[in-house]
Structure 1
Amino acid sequence: MSKLLQQGSGQAYAEVIGDPIAQSKSPAIHNFWLAKLGIAAEYRACHVRPKELADYLKTRRGDPWWRGCNVTMPHKQAVMAGLDRIEAPAEAIGAVNTVLPDGAGGLIGTNTDAVGFLEPLAKELAQTHYFRMARIIGTGGAARAIITALAGQGFTLVVAGRDPAKARRLLDELAPQGEHHTPHLSHFAAPTDFAFDDREGCCDLVINASSLGMQGQPPLAFDWSHAPPGAIAYDIVTAPLDTSFLKGARAAGFRTIDGLAMLVGQAAAAFERFFGQAPPREHDAELRRVLTS
């Protein structure tokens, strides 16, 4: 078992757990904010394999210095069985990305992915639209949070994956209201001559919620003729940050949002729960430079 599973750091700390974990940008984000605020605490990465998860939670329950952890793949659903209480966001999504001590030896699970995803869309979502539609590529853990978030904002959802039946099950579970659609992933790869109606007053999103386009993965084949005029392209992939999906969107004249937006947004919500202070978001531009250098 990793030596980081041992107790007794002598300093307040939070961490991110996953398998693998070396690629995580979360330590850089949280430690940047801790330094800016002068908080004597640390945020670190802890490699926890699936067979170690139960022991990890048992050990952290008894550590007075531990302020909580973020949870990444493959533990977001498995970790729920070891917790004492699940907060509403995580219960609705069906996955936990943040675990917190309750002060009495118990563990609380919550999820900040949905609020993090929505953060860069706040200006658009504050407006009134007569129709909202999101085309979501992917049916994995990230898609669960995104589907839940957008269903709550009144979007009609088009969820595309390699297995349309899985996409339908996700929608039936997470967004049972509304006329949502589940085309095969290949539907968006070929050009279309579909004549979009007048999109004035609409909000349209095209979201890559899959690992396609990530380093070591094939690119996402998406033809931008499928995107309505004025649509926003949003890719949650962070390595590379400027994916072929986003490059194609810009070339076609669409506004883009990259994966750091969601990553920093969900981290901000978790940071406040861990350390009792809101992170200094006035330094976001500097943080982005740190994360991309």
Structure 2
Amino acid sequence: MTRIDGETQVVAILGDPIAQAKSPELFNALFARHGINAVLVPFHVAPEWLGSVLDGISGIRNLAGVVVTVPHKVAALVFAARLAGPALQTGAVNCLRREMNGEWTGSMFDGTGFVQGLRSQGCEPYGKRVLLAGAGGAGTAVGHALVEAGIASLDIFDMNTASAARLIDALRLRRTGAVIGEGCANARALHDLIINATSCGMRMDDPLPVDLSAANNHAVVADLIMKPAETRLLGEAKARGLITHPGRHLLEHSIEAIAGFLNLLSALEVRENPL
């Protein structure tokens, strides 16, 4: 049980919905493990209230910061006075640190967390041919991290064609050597890695975000959704004998870096205590 007293540092996680969030469980376990007097609590915030909420809580002196989840990762960017790390490239944030003057500094850890999570499970992205469904905040971060990791190609699909086009253009401008193109919601035999970065799958009656009928028998199918732990997409992949990669690996490999960014965990502790 987390101890709460007058010196407790508070971290909020803002999302809509929020019931699926695994951050409270994992962050509070991290704080307990390191003896940090801090607590992370969930707040259900609809998009139209995001600005009012961030403006209101910015004056709370013992608020270390905010973790940002669906659907606020792009919208929250405009509230950051400064951007750090991958947020400068991705145009989205999943964490806002409260500075002493009440301003927000934003950063993004989804992409690096996803790549580290892949590697922890023995899936090296270098040279892989990837299909990415979803070009929102998380999908954009994952796309940038994958090209940095040296993938061979990336096909991008989003129902919002403008979002997909923006990400395609941004990644092509980086000139990393990866072939970046427009994809569709169908896996092909050439894809080594298939990723769902949409919210489709949070409910078990959601349609499949990607058709796996033509997928490579050796493909890895990843879903960024945390709850349910096994989405319909992962269940379909498992039924086809494909390797699955659930969303928890991204968060498990992001929380220490986020805690460090919020000044709740020292850089030395982050390096010396890998998950």
Q: Aligned match of 1:231 in 196, 205, 219? A: 219
Matched, 1:207 2:203: no
Q: Structure 1 CA distance, aligned partners of 2:93 and 2:40?
A: 19
The C-alpha deviation readout for 1:225-269, integer Å capped at 9, x for no partner, is 332x53322111222212232233334333221111112222332
- How far is 1:48 from its partner? 2.9
Alignment match, 2:36: 39
Alignment of 1:79-98 (within 5 A): 79-98=76-95
The C-alpha deviation readout for 1:97-117, integer Å capped at 9, x for no partner, is 100123344321001111111
Alignment match, 2:241: 253
Moved more, 151-160 or 47-56: 47-56
Q: Structure 1 CA distance, aligned partners of 2:71 and 2:124?
A: 34
Q: Aligned match of 1:134 in 126, 130, 133? A: 130
Q: Structure 1 CA distance, aligned partners of 2:154 and 2:209?
A: 19
Residues 148 and 175, structure 1, Cα contact 8 Å, conserved in 2:
no
Q: Structure 1 CA distance, aligned partners of 2:58 and 2:232?
A: 43
Alignment match, 1:113: 110
Secondary structure of the structure 2 residue equivalent to 1:226: coil
Q: Structure 2 CA distance, aligned partners of 1:182 and 1:120?
A: 25
**Residues 1:15 and 1:134: Cα distance change in structure 2 (over 3 Å):** same
Matched, 1:218 2:207: yes
Secondary structure of the structure 1 residue equivalent to 2:244: strand
Secondary structure of the structure 1 residue equivalent to 2:100: coil
Q: Structure 2 CA distance, aligned partners of 1:163 and 1:55?
A: 27
**Residues 1:218 and 1:283: Cα distance change in structure 2 (over 3 Å):** same
Q: Aligned match of 1:14 in 11, 14, 17? A: 11
The letter of the residue matching 2:249 is: A
The letter of the residue matching 1:57 is: L
Q: Which runs of 5+ in 2 are unaligned?
A: none
Alignment match, 1:26: 23
- How far is 1:57 from its partner? 2.8
Moved more, 161-170 or 230-239: 161-170
Between the two proteins, the alignment pairs up a number of residues equal to 262
Residues 159 and 183, structure 1, Cα contact 8 Å, conserved in 2:
yes
Alignment match, 2:159: 162
Matched, 1:58 2:55: yes
Q: Which has the higher helix share?
A: 1
Residues 118 and 249, structure 2, Cα contact 8 Å, conserved in 1:
no
The letter of the residue matching 2:105 is: I
**Residues 1:163 and 1:107: Cα distance change in structure 2 (over 3 Å):** closer
Q: Structure 2 CA distance, aligned partners of 1:246 and 1:281?
A: 33
What is the TM-score when the length of structure 1 is the normalising length?
0.77
- How far is 1:205 from its partner? 1.2
Q: Structure 2 CA distance, aligned partners of 1:221 and 1:9?
A: 48
Q: Structure 2 CA distance, aligned partners of 1:64 and 1:15?
A: 13
Q: Structure 1 CA distance, aligned partners of 2:218 and 2:131?
A: 14
Identical aligned residues as a percent: 29
Residues 133 and 156, structure 2, Cα contact 8 Å, conserved in 1:
yes
Alpha-carbon RMSD: 3.0
Q: Structure 2 CA distance, aligned partners of 1:60 and 1:163?
A: 32
**Residues 1:126 and 1:238: Cα distance change in structure 2 (over 3 Å):** closer
Residues 162 and 184, structure 1, Cα contact 8 Å, conserved in 2:
no
Larger C-alpha radius of gyration, 1 or 2?
Answer: 1
Secondary structure of the structure 2 residue equivalent to 1:168: helix
Moved more, 21-30 or 171-180: 171-180
Residues 151 and 175, structure 1, Cα contact 8 Å, conserved in 2:
no
Alignment match, 1:271: 259
Q: Which runs of 5+ in 1 are unaligned?
A: 1-7, 197-202, 285-293
**Residues 1:235 and 1:73: Cα distance change in structure 2 (over 3 Å):** closer
